[in-house]
Structure 1
């Protein structure tokens, strides 16, 4: 790998925090960020993160053990805060002495950050606003990820560039802040590092790596797609706590609209709680994503992708992806 001293210097804080050679996190993608891709990213000098998603504690236990058999490098686990077995999953991470845990999908419930820190794990949280970022840091988060709406999967309403301008000048001087959402090339990485970010997170760029177990049909859909094909889902009922999801437009996108109507009717007719409604939506996404990633159903499944999908044109080894990103970042910094 070509030497990248300027990029390495700007990433040093993040790399030391993660225990990796480079401060490049892989975004946790359900069904994609599993043992093979996670270990490959960590072995290549990045920081792989297992996507727990809807896993049971037993499944997560097996996945962590299998990942550790493939790499001696550090890796993390992403836990969804609304998971009904969150504290059991935290206990599983503690049993395996997982070094870093990413809490995603909402504000961490009371006691979760404390439980992770008691187990010796570093805690990374998502901060969609400056105010929430400050609150999370006060509550014990060791680092933040600010992710813009260009990202794939569940997204917020604000772009990465705006979040970076709002949050990095305020927090990055004294805290560890990673930037995510829409990053597909190293020039963008260089820009965020110069603004004060300690590192970056990418998901879509790694989804079609050679080491990714995603179905060939899933990967081909990415190769054919442009940025404008990755669209955000719409909320059909204001009562439903539906977080928008960015994915490639297909029949599955239309099916999600129908699923929302079905859940809304259940709220009216069966009196189910809002929490149950949210879980039904999340289970829908888990199943739809599996159909696309594992079964190759690119019409009816969910093709979660960020707008950087237009920069994913071929299957490449993780080492080549990371090397290209670092070389592009270094060249940009040299030109400056």
Structure 2
């Protein structure tokens, strides 16, 4: 068999395995770009969707007005489908959902915990599909019963906020039980197409990658932020430590720097406020979220990679250069196709 026939055969297998996920997203390939605050804005999102993948705006701590403007600006750059990631603890969540509906956003991704009462119904009423994160099988089943349209299963290898279990374990535990019920996208630590092929073989409808796209040419991340990624190895991406059990802090994976020590100090400060009764638990957790948003902005936008938060997944060691997002997608798809062909042979 010559190389051309191998390419065609592997690509055909890959297309079949991605068919369900791509149809759900409305994209050419079932690869989502994970929502990364300050990074996943109009330029990266539009470039991802224009290249055949599925871009997702990271709303993060945006105000209603800012999200409104960001969606409009993204629509001016692409006529392809894209999604919006909303944080469930955002105080204006319902207003943000309304903005997504106004712009007829086709997919809303809810992150950061169980969807508050009425949020799923509000999203579905606008005609959009709802995607949620499921860190356990029990929660995955509960979300499916509540009417979500798809799930993202993200392991601890991911960048940003993480859970305690690895991607490979979650995929083995959850995919056999629910992959037939809703499309499931696997995320966390994916940097090459061979891994994508493996999860598709296990029943995933597609994958979500974030770290791999940070150094895309179209990414507005500061050159110093991108250089930090290119220089880093997997072991440089470490999880933050919780210092006070009364203040449950979702760990964040980022590159080791002085910013990690600053976060420890921030936790002590917030814990003391709790001790003194100056803030309620919900306010304390929101204070931590605002801290991360500010620290991330310092690194991504201002280029302060020493004191800011350089959120990165453990796949960062596979990011070796700055290149167009279309080239990154093409490489991932070629690697996945070759892997599927080799397995078939």
TM-score, length of structure 1 as denominator length: 0.99
- Equivalent residue runs for 1:131-142 within 5 Å: 131-142=138-149
- In 1, distance between residues paired with 2:138 and 2:276? 38
Shift of 1:5: 1.4
Quick check: 1:145–1:177 contact (8 Å CA) kept in 2? yes
Q: Which runs of 5+ in 2 are unaligned?
A: 1-6
* Aligned residue in 1 for 2:13: 6
Quote the offset at 1:6 in angstroms: 1.2
Q: Which residue of 1 aligns with 2:222?
A: 215
Is 1:320 aligned with 2:327? Answer: yes
Quote how far apart the aligned CAs of 1:196 are.
Answer: 0.1
3-state SS in 1 of match to 2:163: coil
* 1:76 lines up with 2:83 in the alignment: yes
Q: How much does 1:175 deviate?
A: 1.8
Q: How many angstroms apart in 2 are the aligned matches of 1:80 and 1:261?
A: 24
1:23 aligns with 2:23: no
Contact 1:22-1:45 at 8 Å conserved across structures = yes
Q: Give the Cα separation in 2 of the matches to 1:215 and 1:30.
A: 13
Q: Which residue of 2 aligns with 1:199?
A: 206
The 10-residue stretch of structure 1 (264-273 or 197-206) with the greater mean CA deviation from structure 2: 264-273
Distance 1:80 1:200 in 2: 20
Secondary structure in 2 aligned to 1:101?
A: strand
Indicate the residue corresponding to 2:296 in structure 1.
289
CA distance in 1 between counterparts of 2:144 and 2:64 reads 27
Contact 1:76–1:100 under 8 Å retained in 2: yes
Q: Does 1:231 align with 2:238?
A: yes
In structure 2, distance between residues paired with 1:43 and 1:201: 17
Contact 1:81 / 1:109 at 8 angstroms: preserved in 2?
A: yes
Q: CA deviation at 1:248?
A: 0.2
Per-residue deviation at 1:222? 0.4
2:54: which partner in 1? 47
Alignment partners' CA distance in 1, 2:131 and 2:326: 25
**SS of corresponding position for 1:69:** helix
The answer (yes or no) to whether the contact 1:241–1:274 under 8 Å persists in 2 is no
CA distance in 2: counterparts of 1:123 and 1:18, whole angstroms: 11
Partner of 1:63: 70
Aligned to 2:261: 254
Taking structure 2 as the reference length, the TM-score comes to: 0.96
Deviation, structure 1 residue 272: 1.1
How many matched pairs? 335
Q: Within 2, Cα distance between the matches of 1:224 and 1:261?
A: 31
Counterpart in 2 of 1:162? 169
Whole-angstrom CA distance in 2 between matches of 1:97 and 1:155? 30
The CA distance in 2 between the partners of 1:173 and 1:100, in whole Å, is: 20
For the pair 1:267 / 2:277, whether they are aligned, the reply is no
Q: Give the Å deviation of 1:174.
A: 2.6
- Partner SS, residue 246 of structure 2: coil
Alignment match, 2:3: none
Matching residue of 2:4 = none
- Distance in 2 (CA, whole Å) between partners of 1:168 and 1:269 is 45
CA distance in 2, matches of 1:121, 1:58: 20
In structure 1, the residue corresponding to 2:46 is in which secondary structure?
helix
Alignment partner for residue 111 of structure 1, among 118, 140, 146? 118
Which string of whole-angstrom CA distances, capped at 9 and with x for unpartnered residues, describes residues 112-164 of structure 1? 00100001000000000000000001101000000000000000000000000
Q: In the TM superposition, what is the alpha-carbon distance from 1:270 to its structure 2 partner?
A: 3.6
Pick from 267, 280, 283: which aligns with 1:276? 283
